[in-house]
Amino acid sequence: MVVMVVVVVVMVVVVEEVVVEVVVVVAAVVVVVVVVVVVVAVVVVVVVVAVVVVVVVVVVMVVTVVVMVVVVVVMVVVVVVEEVVVEVVVVVVVVVVVVVVVVVVVVVDRVCKTVARRASLRVTLLRRMRHLLDADGLMRLYKAQVRPVMEYSPLTWMSSAQCHLSLLDRVQRRAERLIHPTDDQYHMERLRVPWRRSERPTRTVASSDLLLEALRTHTVMGQRAFTWATATLWNTFTVEVDAVAMNTQQHKGTRAARSAGVQHCKEHVITLTTPIPSRDVVLNVAHNKEQLIEMITEELVDRTIERKDSGYQTDLLSQGKLILLLKSGKVYEWRDQICKLTMRKQTSSFHTRLSSLFLTPERLLK
């Protein structure tokens, strides 16, 4: 079409007198060519179902119609106007050619992008099935599902620029790496010098069999892991715990053994509180334990609690502590804390329970 337009323009420029018959013949030829192009385009649209080819055909039809209209307009101007400026005709022809080239480039670029996108999606599906098939199965599936998309209607884009064809080449290389992986690593990690570990035990727990190996980590997420936190907490525990053992067998057996046990725990200190004493209880004040024992030895004030030989005496020290003296000879130190004390007598199973009532020295003096 462009060649025909150029020929007509040359004829108009060179030949001053344009024969009307020639113009009519040329117009008839142009009309016939347009009709043939339209018929061929319709046949191609009917035969080809692909969306990409339909778009290309429609664009070609539009460009052809535009070119024909421009040619007819130029011919009419040549016939009607005797003097035509050559520069105007040349500019019009150049503009038409540029428009046609730009449209073709845009259409080819869009076709290449569409084909590359469809093929890339199928390669992605092939990658997800990689662990289920071997190399031969992947190659067979690639030839059946991916290659037909890339090889369909190659005449529309085979003569395009390299920048457009690089999209298809990229998809092809991706499929090759997927089917036949190489030993080359594209993302290499830097080599790190490992931390030096101590060759001798540096802690007390390390000398025993209870030491747990904890992975070395410096991140917050790693230190929150169960393995690291548990091993670190376990290694901080001490190996031995200082505990005083109590032999309960010495309180059993004969009466002499029980008496020996009672004499052994003559000076036993515990923490408890005392109930509020009644008004008939005499309070003897002592400044220390020795004065209290001497005072009780001289004069002991007993308070009978439903039975004989079951009394207690309360005395206030200068330091704000209370001393409880039992008739069995045990001396207890009372503090301002809440607890309970159960005392078993030697000769019977009678229990004397002291309630856990809070008593301060100021309240006791009142």
Domain segments of the chain as ranges? 2-84, 266-365
Phi, psi of 9 (to 5 degrees): -65, -40
Task: Read off the pTM.
Answer: 0.31
How far apart CA 12 and CA 354 sit, in angstroms, is: 134
Using DSSP's 3-state secondary structure scheme, residue 362 falls into helix
Residue of 216, 204, 217, 212 lying closest to 233 (CA atoms): 212
The answer to whether 34 touches 64, Cβ cutoff 8 Å, is yes
Q: Mean pLDDT across the chain, nearest whole number?
A: 62
How many residues are given for the chain?
366
What does the alpha-carbon distance between residue 119 and residue 133 come to, in Å, rounded to a whole number?
A: 19
pLDDT digits (tens), the chain, 366 positions: 545 555 555 555 555 455 555 555 566 666 667 767 776 776 565 555 455 555 666 666 776 767 666 666 666 665 555 555 556 666 777 777 777 777 777 787 888 888 889 999 999 999 888 888 888 888 998 988 898 888 887 777 777 778 878 888 899 889 988 888 766 656 666 777 777 766 665 555 555 667 777 888 888 888 888 888 888 888 777 666 555 555 555 545 555 544 544 444 433 333 333 344 444 444 444 555 566 556 555 544 443 333 333 344 444 433 444 444 444 444 444 433 333 333 333 333 323 333 333 333 343 333
